[in-house]
């Protein structure tokens, strides 16, 4: 029996989803590596501090990245494969960004949601951030591609238990067509629009506004809003 209990370093990584009216995007950061002309994008993250819980570390990372305090956040999985930080480029970057000899790094992954048109106030160590469409993600360092893949299952489970989170991806007023496209993007499949209208009709917290689209070439659609009070009442009564 092995009795080799080593110390390890623990980080958090955040998968921040955004929706641009057409597809799901993920917020990536550019890390500084010694490769000329190579854009090296990754999930935003950080090693946890000495006196810091993992949830606090994830909140800190998102605040430094966006300027938004208390973003909706959900821890979803710890990734701890022994070789997840064994790529020489990744080890070199860890040396430079944190400290030398980080021979084992375990990460706790979080889901979050953000409107893509929101102005971000980035004060993090990452110089550049960008929204990247989920179906055109680059090859990322560590196991970040695997983390994103897993996060897609998780965001569905999250929405099924807590449908309110969907509306954090939409503008305050939205059309049913936008909501429909968002559900299609999250489930990555076509959803019959008539059945979808029936489904929305059962959501008492999706409420029509006295306002329609303006300056559109097609027939102007009505705007709707998410009514948090109705939602909370419904949730309490269940």
49 part of the interface to a second copy, by CB under 8 A? yes
Our finding on whether 188 is near a second copy (CB under 8 A) is no
Candidate residues 20, 21, 77, 116; the one interacting with a second copy per rule CB under 8 A: 77
Q: How far is the CB of 199 from a second copy (least distance, A)?
A: 15
Rounded CA-CA distance 27/131 in Å is 5
Taking alpha carbons only, the member of 229, 232, 168, 145 closest to residue 18 is: 168
Cα–Cα distance measured from residue 127 to residue 115, given in angstroms and rounded to the nearest whole number:
20
Per rule CB under 8 A, is residue 61 in the interface with a second copy? no
Count of chain residues binding a second copy (CB under 8 A): 31
Binders of a second copy in range 110-169 (CB under 8 A):
157, 160-161
CA 78 to chain centroid: 16
Q: Which is nearer to a second copy, 98 or 149 (CB)?
A: 98
Query: Which residue's entry shows tokens 């196991």?
Result: 143
Contact pick of 32, 34, 82, 188 for a second copy (by CB under 8 A): 82
Give backbone dihedrals phi and psi of 131, rounded to 5 degrees, phi first: -85, 130
Q: Is residue 106 within the footprint of a second copy (CB under 8 A)?
A: yes
Question: Could you tell me which of 77, 229, 216, 61 has the C-alpha nearest to residue 154?
Answer: 77
Q: How far is the CB of 112 from a second copy (least distance, A)?
A: 16
Comparison of 64 and 227: residue with beta carbon closer to a second copy: 64
Contact between 70 and a second copy per CB under 8 A: no
- Region of 73-81, 131-139, 200-208, 228-236 interacting with a second copy (CB under 8 A): 73-81
| Separation CA 59–CA 220 (nearest Å) | 40
Q: Dihedrals φ, ψ of 5, to 5°?
A: -95, 105
Q: Does 69 bind a second copy (CB under 8 A)?
A: no
Long-range contacts of 218-226 (CB under 8 A, 24+ apart): 221/175, 221/176, 221/177, 222/175, 222/176, 223/173, 223/174, 223/175, 224/173, 224/174, 224/175, 224/176, 224/179, 225/172, 225/173, 225/174, 226/164, 226/167, 226/170
One of 24, 108, 114, 186 touching a second copy (CB under 8 A) = 108
- Determine, following the binding rule CB under 8 A, whether residue 225 of this chain makes contact with a second copy: no
Q: Which stretch binds a second copy (CB under 8 A): 42-50, 114-122, 181-189, 199-207?
A: 42-50
Q: Which is nearer to a second copy, 123 or 201 (CB)?
A: 123
**Spatial distance between the Cα atoms of 170 and 222, rounded to a whole number of angstroms:** 15
Using CB under 8 A, pick the residue from 36, 50, 190, 202 that binds a second copy: 50
Residues found near a second copy in the complex (CB under 8 A): 2, 4-10, 47-55, 75, 77-78, 80-82, 98-99, 104, 106, 108, 157, 160-161
């Amino acid at each position: 029996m092995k009795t080799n209990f080593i110390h390890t370093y623990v980080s958090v990584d955040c998968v921040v989803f955004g929706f641009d009216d057409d597809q799901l995007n993920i917020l990536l950061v550019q890390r500084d590596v010694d490769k000329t002309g190579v854009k090296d994008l990754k999930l935003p993250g950080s090693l946890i501090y000495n006196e810091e819980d993992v949830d606090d570390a994830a909140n800190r990372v998102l605040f430094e990245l966006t300027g938004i305090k208390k973003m909706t956040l959900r821890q979803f999985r710890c990734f701890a494969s022994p070789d997840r930080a064994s790529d020489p480029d990744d080890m070199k970057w860890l040396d430079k960004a944190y400290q030398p000899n980080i021979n084992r790094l375990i990460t706790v992954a979080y889901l979050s949601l953000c409107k893509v048109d929101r102005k971000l106030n980035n004060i993090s160590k990452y110089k550049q951030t960008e929204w990247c469409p989920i179906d055109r993600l680059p090859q990322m360092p560590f196991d970040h591609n695997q983390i994103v893949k897993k996060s897609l299952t998780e965001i569905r489970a999250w929405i099924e238990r807590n449908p309110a989170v969907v509306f954090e991806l939409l503008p305050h007023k939205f059309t049913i067509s936008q909501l429909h496209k968002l559900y299609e993007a999250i489930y990555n499949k076509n959803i019959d629009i008539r059945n979808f209208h029936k489904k929305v009709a059962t959501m008492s917290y999706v409420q029509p506004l006295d306002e329609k689209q303006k300056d559109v070439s097609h027939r102007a659609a009505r705007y709707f809003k998410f009514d948090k009070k109705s939602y909370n009442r419904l949730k309490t009564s269940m």
